[in-house]
Amino acid sequence: MTQPSDTPRKRGFALLDADKMRQVAALGGRTAHAAGRAHQFSREEARAAARRSVEVRTRRAAEARAASDSNSPSA
């Protein structure tokens, strides 16, 4: 019986080199668009997604600052 290692072995898509992975992903994207199954963001959807992303990043950065301030010893 084999012993589990600390680092998991790469399997499937992760085994491919970066260029081959890019080619496979691009082919999948082209196929999805050709079949009409790919989502096309409208300008409004893209703006809303960007706004939410900025809000989340800002909130997380503030939380991280607050956590590091509370963990650091006061002078």
21 with 13: CB under 8 angstroms? yes
CA 39, CA 33: separation in Å to the nearest integer?
Answer: 8
Asked whether residue 20 is domain-assigned, the answer is: no
The pLDDT of residue 2: 60
Asked whether residue 49 is domain-assigned, the answer is: yes
- pLDDT one-digit tens code per residue, 9-60: 889 888 999 999 999 999 999 999 999 998 888 999 999 999 999 999 999 9
Q: Structural domain tally of the chain?
A: 1
Asked whether residue 48 is domain-assigned, the answer is: yes
Asked whether residue 55 is domain-assigned, the answer is: yes
pTM: 0.47
Asked whether residue 51 is domain-assigned, the answer is: yes
Identify residue 16 by its one-letter amino acid code: L
Identify the domain containing residue 47 by its residue range. Answer: 40-69
Identify residue 45 by its one-letter amino acid code: E
The pLDDT of residue 8: 85
Q: Token match 């080199």: residue?
A: 17
